[in-house]
Amino acid sequence: MTTEFETDHQAEMAKMFEQRVEAILKLGIEQFGLPVGIFSAIGEETYEIRQVLHPENVLTPGMEFDLEETFCSQVISASKVFAFHDVSQSELGSHPAGEKFGFAAYLGAPIVVEGECIGTLAFGSTSPVAAFGEHDTDLVQLFADSIGQTVAHIHDRKALDQARADLERSANTDPLTGLYNRRYMETVLRTELERSNRYGNAVVVGMVYFDNLKNLNEDFGYDAGDAALKLFANVASEMMRETDVIARWSDKEFIILMPETGAAGALNYLQRLTDRVGAEDFQAGTEHPRLTLSVGLGIAEEGDTLDKLVSRADIAMHQSKQS
């Protein structure tokens, strides 16, 4: 759910940004009397058109050019507005951009974000125009600054969203294994039980107990025990379906939620997991102890609470240990 929300939010921000740039391009074309408007992004040696308004669609988004072959290279080098009402009569008269883009008149400004030039906002015409005034140069820089501020805001918002996502992930994750923690699993199980009680969905959980974790810690040290837990987490994550959820429930116990799974299928999965973990070539010091698990199955019954369901799986797991 969180990922879908973040994706939708990012798409909405991108759409709003595109709409804002398009509005600025239209306004600039009207204000400056130049029929072509371009918002570009620059790399070390490249110039990419991101958005463009061109009466003949000769230039389109996604087109790339060598930066040095564009007038924007001059804008970026000087870090200021370049305004030429008649390029042929200016210092850029012999510049290859005149022929490549067909501009006889040009007005461009750098877009700066956090002190770095990330692109340009430019307007052009295939014919010379009346000389630009100070108002024109100030206005095009104002438009470029507006785009730069919007980009900076988006970067800040993305950083904030990422920080929130990282914080939420940290709060829901076991730091050693990278699996979900008990807090998260309790929330998920309560939600699944509510759905089950309302719609009759099957809720099946597997309780997994690490039999020899205590011995690993005592005989080989806690690093060996931690390595065994990480190995289990990797194997279980590889084997589980997309709809399954696994969490570390306690020091030695894990719970696996297997939605819409029957008892036979769940038991089959738990047995395969046990066999696979036991078959791993685990090394502790100079020895290769076999990792063993005990498993139990809990199937939700009508009106079950979280405690009842987990207790049922726990009892089955202990019965498995004793057998």
Q: What is the pLDDT along the chain (323 residues), one digit of tens a residue?
A: 344 444 556 677 788 889 999 999 999 999 999 999 999 998 888 899 999 999 998 889 999 999 988 988 889 888 899 999 998 888 777 788 877 788 899 999 999 988 889 899 999 999 999 999 999 999 999 999 999 988 888 877 676 666 666 667 777 889 899 999 998 999 999 998 988 888 778 889 999 999 989 999 999 999 999 999 999 999 999 998 888 999 999 999 999 999 878 889 999 999 999 999 999 999 988 899 999 999 999 998 888 889 999 999 999 988 887 66
CA–CA dist 224, 55 (Å, integer): 69
Q: Is the fold of 2-168 the same as that of 182-322? A: no
Give, for 107, the enclosing helix (H) or strand (E).
Answer: strand 105-113
Residue with tokens 């600025």: 24
Three-class DSSP category at 177: coil
Q: What is the pTM of this model?
A: 0.54
- If one counts every other C-beta atom within 10 angstroms of the C-beta of residue 184, the result is 19
- Taking each helix axis from N to C end, the angle separating 134-172 and 182-199, rounded to the nearest 10 degrees, works out to 80
Classify domain 2-168 by CATH architecture: 2-Layer Sandwich (3.30)
Alpha helices for the chain (secondary structure H): 2-32, 72-78, 96-101, 134-172, 182-199, 213-220, 222-239, 263-279, 306-322
> Is 182-322 assigned to CATH 3.30.70.270?
yes
- Taking each helix axis from N to C end, the angle separating 2-32 and 134-172, rounded to the nearest 10 degrees, works out to 180
Dihedral sign from CA coordinates of 30, 34, 35, 40: negative
Domain residue extents for the chain: 2-168, 182-322
pLDDT value at position 304? 85
CA–CA dist 189, 128 (Å, integer): 70
